[in-house]
Chain A
Amino acid sequence: MTGSVAELFFLAFFGLAAIWFGIVVFRTHSMVRSALALLFSQTAIGAMFLVMQAEFLGVLQIMMMATEMSVMALFMVMFMMDPGGMGAMDMSHQKRLSLRAGGVGLLAALAVSWLPDWGPAAINIPSAARQTELLGIELLGRSMFIFESAGLTILTSMIAATMVAIAPRKSGVTHDC
């Protein structure tokens, strides 16, 4: 039972950390801080995966988000008026609506997670090495089509995104509109 208590504790700890960092994302004025808060939120989620014994996914999440959020930070600095947050500028709108939507979403999701009877917890978790192996078999076996589609999707979106993002040829179009 101690294992379960420890698991519960770490789950809650990292989970609350993730939520807290998630809130920081929208409360800080500095854009780099905002992006890095999101990174730490995602890292805490990765740690939650580790607590839930999904080792591969946890490490993967921690790894992927480092890059993703660093790029995010760069874009924040590029595209915001006040990336250092010195002006303490308010960058939000329709606050009340958003708060309400968030609150309703929270209540609904909480109700769904606590009300139903989820049945007994599974006991036998495959070991980390076995999980990785099983996941590989799953990916390259039954779910291969989905996996390959995902791969193609990401390739397509990479190419498309690059196409959209590169500078258009100058053909008398001014950028001053």
Chain B
Amino acid sequence: MIVELSVALSIGAGLFAVGLYGALSQTNLVMIMMGIELILAAALVNLVAFWRYLHPDAMSGQMFVLIVMTVMAVEMAVGFAIAIARFRSRGSVEMEEARELKG
């Protein structure tokens, strides 16, 4: 039983829950992206915690963190591009008004 690991994982769980709530409940695309960022951050916490408390010798754990950070950056870039394009064409980034994206 490693208390630190469980604490770190619980914090990851908390971040995940907050992020999930945000991603589902917000109406604005940018706010939804914030929720997704939080979910990814939760993943980061878990990865680092596993690396630290279980396999500190295996650097692939840290490398995975780097990849997730890249994914976060990509998500931002793509998300903002969509936001700009949508705002340009429709004047809104509210998801309520983007129902054709839901289909």
Q: Secondary structure at chain A's binding surface: helix, strand, loop or mixed?
A: helix
User: Which residues of B, 41-99, contact A by the 8 Å Cβ criterion?
Assistant: 41, 44-45, 48-49, 51-57, 59-60, 62-63, 65-67, 69-70, 72-74, 76-78, 80-85, 87-91, 93, 96
Q: Secondary structure at chain B's binding surface: helix, strand, loop or mixed?
A: helix
CB pair B13 A113 closer than 8 Å: yes
Binding site for B on A (CB under 8 A): 4, 7-8, 11-12, 15-16, 18-19, 22-23, 25-26, 34-35, 38, 41-42, 45, 48-49, 52-54, 56-57, 60-61, 64, 68, 71-72, 75-76, 78-80, 91-95, 97-99, 101-103, 105-106, 109-110, 112-114, 117-122, 124-126, 131, 134-135, 137-139, 142-143, 146-147, 150-151, 153-154, 157-158, 160-165, 167-168, 175, 177
Some 21 contacts from A to B, beta carbons below 8 A apart, are: A11-B4, A15-B14, A26-B18, A34-B34, A52-B8, A61-B69, A79-B29, A92-B26, A97-B25, A102-B21, A102-B24, A103-B17, A105-B13, A106-B14, A109-B12, A121-B5, A139-B66, A150-B67, A162-B81, A167-B88, A177-B89
